[in-house]
Structure 1
Amino acid sequence: MLNMIIPPIKDKYYITYSIFYLLGILTFIPNYFVLTASTYWLFKFRYLGPEGTERDPNNALPGPPKERNMLQASFVSTYFVVTQFSFIAFIILTAAYSKKLPPPEKRITAALLCSLVFYIVNLIFVNIVTDDFQIAFFMLIMCIACFLGICGAVIIVSLFEMVSNFPSEYYSAILTAQALCGVISAAIQILTIIVTDVPVTSGLIFFGIGAGMVCLTLTIYTYSKRNSQYFIYHIENNPMANVAQPRGKFLVRLWKKVKNPFKKTKIYMISLTVVFGTTAIVYPGLMSLVASQRSDGHSSNKWVEFYFIPVITFLVANVCDLLGRYLATKIRKPSQEWVLFTIAILRIAFIPLLMYCNVQPRLHTPVLFSDLHYIIFTIIFMFSNGYLINLCVVIVPTRAQDREEKSLITVMTVLSGVMSTALCSFLSIMVVHIL
């Protein structure tokens, strides 16, 4: 057998690395980017008053937090659940039938084009007055959420098929993209509020930027496929491309591959699942409904009416998450599996703490904590989320014996987090309604 001489091809201008980063961001955009347009959604689903009441379609105020209706209160958690349900279902389907589908690079192109169509549909409805069919519009948005989840699932499965041909640092580009997506979307939300206090205009800005990001990613991705020698070399020199897969059911084949790696890392995997699941129960569904205690929906104080949720719930939360992920890669402590598991279990205590912050509307339970308490809870909760997630992601692959096992463990780590988020997100609707 002749030894393969690998030519010294480099990722010029880090174009291919940027592609994985952008595709990672687009995978999580339905969870963060769309949901942070909270002022727009609160406006679209605001209470319109009794029938026959004169309505002002340009009224910029969504109403007092305590008077939010069911559509406003349940929008974020329902959207999140629908997205996650379609996401998890099509991760399984895409992975199961990947050999019968077009190559991953073609799948990604198709998913990007479909995502662009759905963002354009959202853009069209921004300027349409939906006051007379709010429930129908709500259902339409949930359908769009479902299709965006499907696109995200196709992209992430195809990404992991492709990234296995690249150096290990290209995995980190996908993993870090989730937290970065949250920071970017929160920053855009705050800038939008600074530019305009008209919800329709903010909706145009949000979905315009979203469509622009998809177009940018599609352009760079298409360019890389055709012109980047680094990208072309790694895709065309996939040693597993022509290897026949063993017959049998997909889940049986998958379990045979991951059984041994799972036994070595099961405590880390369980810890990671608990961390992801705990966060999914309250973020973003519950925490996006936490309003400042000084807010009454009519105050002239812009901080409590417009900036509190975008700055604290989205920007501060995601910056802390990103900081935690960064520090975990540098400190890498604690590394003992049972210590990590104990911290992950203790972190569940934040669920009742956050429930008793000023989540609105609420009918059955009192508010026990102030705005300051909520800010402190958010900082600790989200920092620990990012730190524990990346700590597991960094430590788990070191338990692998060879390159193939390392690749399997990395994919297992990410998918266990995705599955946990999807399953536990269903609980977020229950948590909102028991308040």
Structure 2
Amino acid sequence: MAIVSEDDFHHSSNSTYRTASSSLRADQEALLEKLLDHPPPSLQRPEDHFNAAYIIFFCLGIGGLLPWNFSVMAQEYWLFKLSNCSSPATGEEPKGSDILNYFESYLAVASTVPSILCLMVNFLLVNRVPIRVRVLASLSVMLAIFVLMTVLVKVDTSSWTPSFFALTIGCMAILSGTSIIFNSSIFGMTGSFPMRNSQALISGGAMGGTISAVASLVDLAASSDVTDSALAFFLTADVFLALCIGLYLLLLRLDYARYYMKPVWPAMFSGDGQPPQDSPSPPLAAARSSDSSTPPLRPILKRTAGLGFCIIYIFFVTSVIFPAISTNIESLSRGSGSLWATKFFVPLTTFLLYNVADLCGRQITAWVQVPGPRSKVLPGLALLRTCLVPLFVLCNYQPRVRLRRVVFQSDAYPVLFTSLLGLSNGYLSTLALIYGPKIVPRELAEAAGVVMTFYLCLGLMLGSACSALIVHLI
């Protein structure tokens, strides 16, 4: 399949606008294509000088997921806080032992339920609340939550552990909800930009995971104080969130970004050649007035159904394996007592390797976009990833109760399989995600971005639930 130019892809999707008068549709579309092929000086697309917009979207991708990655990664810190380690040991069972045992389950609920609810709310707010307000508000709330968590790092909470637990779960729920609003809004916004910008945003998210994995390894090697490590993590997240606010405000001032965020039709069919600054295009204005400001869901679901299946299944397979199965694969030389086998095997072969491979897969889509959005090869490749599940299970997963035999008797196999898992997840999921907002009319691109994020969350939820079942069958 031939690789389609991202600008051609982008503008061909814009030609699907509905007009107020159906009798003029064909003439307007023909004129639109002619203008896009040979735009007059007033319609020339500005260049992304110094790749400024690309870099900003990449950084926004990092900032959108880095705080959550850091908060989840600080597992030792939460164990320290919730087991009353702030106070001297008394030899008694910690008061919060039940809280400690079920903390990860509570955390999963606190991250999943608000995400789904906030995605629904964000879809309803697409045409009601300007994207600038939603992005800046969500970033500000995330920053406020992390500043509070940073302050609490050095506060002795041993006398109010249950209250600290409730506060932590509440903060995580708010953080998860606002993070999904930010990520789905900014991803929907990139639907109006060339595909390279969507790819930059998605690759930035993978870089956030890579940075978290590297930070975890550095912390593991240094063996520093748990509160000092958590303080460094949270301060880094604070800086990134503040940086994201500044970068987003800078993005709005770039001519390149302002061009793609402006309505297209008034500029195409008005005599002055300049689009009104504050007025929407006629089709969009008509849609808003007739649809009560709520984007139509049915046409989005209809057009993105195939890509939605790919996204759901890709993340389903990934979340079945990572981290529930992959983190329990031990080195075959664990009995030797070496640092590689006992301390660094899982962090290196699971977390760091997977995130680096995932980042590489996403970055490849900046240069190659095959198969296309309508190709049957894409869902075929997504289904082919099912083979990775038994491959990981047949490695040295421990403990094994029912499946006693370890087929792959070498540490090289989990390294190979993790690389395939990360590369395929990064490449295939990025293709499906960036195609989604491009195959709908431009006025529905942002809403389509929210729907694509919903597909992602649904895949993760189903995979996480299925992973618990598979673990009990091994």
Instruction: Give the TM-score, by structure 1 length.
Output: 0.76
Q: For residues 34-45 of structure 1, what are the structure 2 equivalents within 5 Å?
A: 34-44=71-81
Q: Secondary structure at the match of 2:71?
A: coil
Cα distance, 1:418 vs structure 2: 3.6
Contact 1:286 1:428 in 2 (8 A): yes
Deviations 1:278-333 (A, max 9, x none): 2123323554455657779xx98544454333322211011111223344565656
Instruction: Provide the residue aligned with 2:154 in structure 1.
Output: 127
Q: Aligned partners of 1:236 and 1:340: how far apart in 2?
A: 32
Query: Which consecutive residues of structure 2, in runs of 5 or more, have no partner in the other structure?
Result: 1-27, 266-278
How much has 1:207 moved relative to structure 2? 1.0
Please say if 1:416 is aligned against 2:455: yes
Cα distance in 1, alignment partners of residues 140 and 93 from structure 2: 37
Q: Distance in 2 between matches of 1:383 and 1:241?
A: 40
Amino acid at match of 1:32: N
Structure 2 CA distance for aligned equivalents of residues 410 and 20 of structure 1: 15
Match of 1:6 in 2: 43
Deviations 1:43-74 (A, max 9, x none): 445697xx941899xxxxxxxxxxxx886776
Correspondence for 1:110: 137
The CA distance in 1 between the partners of 2:217 and 2:460, in whole Å, is 26
Query: Aligned pair 1:383/2:411, yes or no?
Result: no
CA distance in 2, matches of 1:192, 1:249: 52
Alignment length (residue pairs)? 413
Conserved? CA contact 2:126–2:295, under 8 Å = no
Aligned match of 1:82: 110
Q: Cα offset for 1:412?
A: 5.3
Tell me the secondary structure at the aligned position of residue 95 of structure 1: helix
Q: Map 1:25-424; keep pairs closer than 5 Å.
A: 25-29=62-66, 31-44=68-81, 52-53=90-91, 75=103, 79-101=107-129, 103-130=130-157, 136-225=163-252, 227-235=253-261, 237=263, 241=280, 243-244=285-286, 245=288, 247=290, 253-259=296-302, 261-262=303-304, 266-288=305-327, 302-304=339-341, 306-327=343-364, 337-351=375-389, 354=392, 369=406, 372=411, 373-393=413-433, 400=439, 413=452, 415-424=454-463
Task: Quote the RMSD (CA, aligned, Å).
Answer: 4.4
Identity across the alignment (%): 24
Q: Alpha-carbon deviations, 1:229-285, whole Å to 9, x = none?
A: 4444544557683614254588882213452x24xxx44542332111121233235
Shift of 1:213: 0.6
Deviations 1:342-378 (A, max 9, x none): 4433433444554576667x69667755771433432
**Contact 2:57–2:200 (8 Å) recurs in 1:** yes
Q: Which has more radius of gyration?
A: 2
Change (3 A) 1:117 1:432: farther
**What is the distance in 2 between the residues matched to 1:340 and 1:195?**
43
Does 334-343 or 13-22 show the bigger shift? 334-343
CA contact (8 A) 2:119 2:450 kept: no
CA separation of 1:406 and 1:238: change in aligned 2, threshold 3 A: closer
Label 1:220 to 1:80 Cα distance change in 2 as closer, same or farther (>3 A): same
Distance 1:401 1:341, change over 3 A: closer
Amino acid paired to 1:6: L
For residues 310 and 189 of structure 1, the distance between their equivalents in structure 2, rounded to whole angstroms, comes to 8
Query: Structure 2 vs 1, CA of residues 74 and 194 (structure 1 numbering), >3 Å: closer, same or farther?
Result: same
Relative to structure 1, the CA distance from residue 429 to residue 129 in structure 2 (aligned partners, 3 Å threshold; closer, same or farther) is: farther
Aligned to 1:64: none
Distance across 2 between alignment mates of 1:432 and 1:47: 31
Distance in 1 between residues matched to 2:393 and 2:71, nearest whole Å: 23
Asked whether the equivalents of residues 191 and 449 of structure 2 are also in contact (C-alpha less than 8 Å), the reply is no
**Partners of 1:333 and 1:16 in 2: CA distance:** 24
Letter in 2 for 1:348: T
Deviation at 1:212?
A: 1.0
Change in Cα spacing, 1:236 to 1:332, as seen in structure 2 (3 Å) is closer
TM-score by length of 2: 0.70
